[in-house]
């Protein structure tokens, strides 16, 4: 028979789940590239890249010729020659961005390739996903607020059983560290969820953010099919997170899917200008990059859903020889 005190007994406090280790070997830089098991880029990718790079070179050459004509009136001095060289260098990357954006516009008009389908019912998930929030002397209240919004949206959609939230702290400021722990406890109280929200702080932030993520992969990565990297100021809709997880489940040949981050809630004039610009032509730039980068584009570092096993097998960063900044830990 239960006693009245049974209702007052709480399970032992646990800030972290049981470890589920996953091997993440360090990758030697001198190792030969491994051929992909499946073709991951669209056909004729070389032609796309030749078009973009060739177009950028052509635009730069025309601009350089016009600048040379303007500067060569009366002869080209050493100073004017220096100006011409700097002009070409600075103009080239602008020309590359221009041609890439034009290709992105054409790609959008033509359909833009495979997209994340946001229509229809929210898919059910068969695997577990970890949401990782790396922190380094950030504002704990802001981090906790963002995670609470994400948690509430996942709960509203009935998808919480498939997700765990990890606050991965590399904080060095003792005051911020204490505030982080208080915010973590407050977040658990606010959500009533002790079993899916976790906090881990490293005493030494070895290898910085890359080491922070690698530590999680090696200790808990074996328990999750994929993980989502968030930034300290990231907020994502639960529906988008669920569909990103479902995309990796449906496409076992895909290792990473990243979103196009946009600015929201800007308060200053400059922030509002950036927010407007990102909304207007940000998608065009992103489509352009995707069009000619294919499966070999840059990983932006956050707001990306990553297959855990693939990341562990390929993303162990080595320590470079020599003194900093050219030696030591990468990133």
Topology of domain 129-261+300-329 in CATH is Spore Coat Polysaccharide Biosynthesis Protein SpsA; Chain A (3.90.550)
Cβ(216)–Cβ(117) below 8 Å = no
Q: Are 321 and 29 in contact (CB under 8 A)?
A: no
Q: What's the pLDDT score for residue 117?
A: 66
The pLDDT, as a whole number, for residue 310 is 94
pLDDT of residue 102: 96
Query: How do the domains of the chain map onto residue ranges?
Result: 45-109, 129-261+300-329
- pLDDT, position 81: 94
pLDDT at residue 205 in the model:
86
Residue with tokens 């992969």: 217
Q: Look at residues 202, 186, 204 and name the one whose alpha carbon lies nearest to residue 147.
A: 186
Structure-block tokens of residue 175: 């005051």
* pLDDT at residue 118, rounded to an integer: 66
Instruction: Single out the residue of 219, 268, 267 nearest to residue 20, CA to CA.
Output: 219
Q: Exposure string (b/e) for 238-260, b if CB count within 10 Å is 16 or more?
A: bbbbbbbbbbbbeeeebbbbbbe
pLDDT at residue 161 in the model: 95
pLDDT for 11 equals 60
pLDDT at 259: 86
In whole angstroms, give the CA distance from residue 182 to residue 184: 5
**Of all residues in the chain, what percent carry a pLDDT higher than 90?**
63
pLDDT in tens, the chain (331 residues): 444 444 444 566 788 999 999 999 998 877 776 666 666 677 789 999 999 999 999 999 999 999 999 999 888 899 999 999 999 999 999 999 999 999 999 998 887 666 666 677 888 899 999 999 999 999 999 999 999 999 999 999 999 999 999 999 999 999 999 999 999 999 999 999 888 999 999 988 888 899 999 999 999 999 999 999 999 888 899 999 999 999 999 988 889 998 888 888 888 999 999 999 999 989 999 999 989 998 888 888 788 999 999 999 988 888 888 788 777 777 6
DSSP string, 301-313: SSSEEEEHHHHHH
Q: Exposure of 322 by Cβ count < 10 A (0-12 exposed, 13-18 middle, 19+ buried)? A: exposed
pLDDT recorded at residue 323: 80
């Amino acid at each position: 028979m239960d006693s009245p005190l049974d209702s007052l007994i709480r399970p032992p406090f646990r800030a972290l789940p049981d470890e589920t280790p996953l091997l993440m070997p360090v990758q030697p830089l001198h190792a030969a590239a491994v051929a992909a098991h499946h073709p991951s880029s669209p056909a004729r990718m070389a032609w796309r890249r030749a078009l973009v790079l060739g177009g950028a070179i052509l635009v730069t050459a025309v601009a350089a010729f016009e600048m040379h004509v303007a500067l060569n009136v009366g002869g080209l001095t050493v100073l004017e020659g220096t100006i011409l060289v700097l002009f070409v260098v600075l103009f080239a990357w602008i020309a590359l961005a221009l041609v890439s954006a034009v290709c992105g516009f054409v790609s959008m008009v033509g359909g833009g390739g495979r997209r994340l389908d946001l229509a229809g019912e929210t898919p059910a998930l068969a695997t577990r996903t970890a949401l990782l929030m790396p922190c380094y002397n950030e504002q704990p209240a802001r981090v906790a607020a963002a995670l609470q919004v994400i948690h509430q949206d996942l709960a509203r959609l009935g998808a919480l059983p498939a997700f765990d939230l990890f606050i991965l702290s590399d904080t060095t400021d003792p005051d911020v560290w204490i505030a982080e722990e208080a915010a973590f406890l407050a977040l658990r109280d606010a959500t009533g969820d002790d079993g899916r929200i976790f906090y881990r702080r490293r005493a030494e932030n070895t290898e910085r953010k890359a080491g922070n993520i690698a530590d999680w992969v090696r200790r808990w990565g074996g328990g999750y099919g994929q993980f989502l990297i968030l930034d300290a100021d990231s907020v994502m809709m639960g529906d988008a997170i669920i569909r990103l997880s479902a995309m990796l489940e449906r496409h076992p040949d895909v290792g990473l899917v990243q979103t196009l981050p946009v600015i929201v809630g800007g308060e200053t004039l400059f922030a509002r200008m950036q927010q407007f610009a990102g909304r207007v032509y940000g998608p065009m730039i992103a489509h352009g990059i995707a069009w000619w980068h294919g499966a070999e584009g840059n990983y932006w570092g956050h707001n990306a859903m990553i297959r855990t096993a693939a990341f562990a097998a390929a993303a162990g960063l080595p320590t470079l020889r020599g003194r900093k900044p050219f030696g030591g830990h990468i990133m």
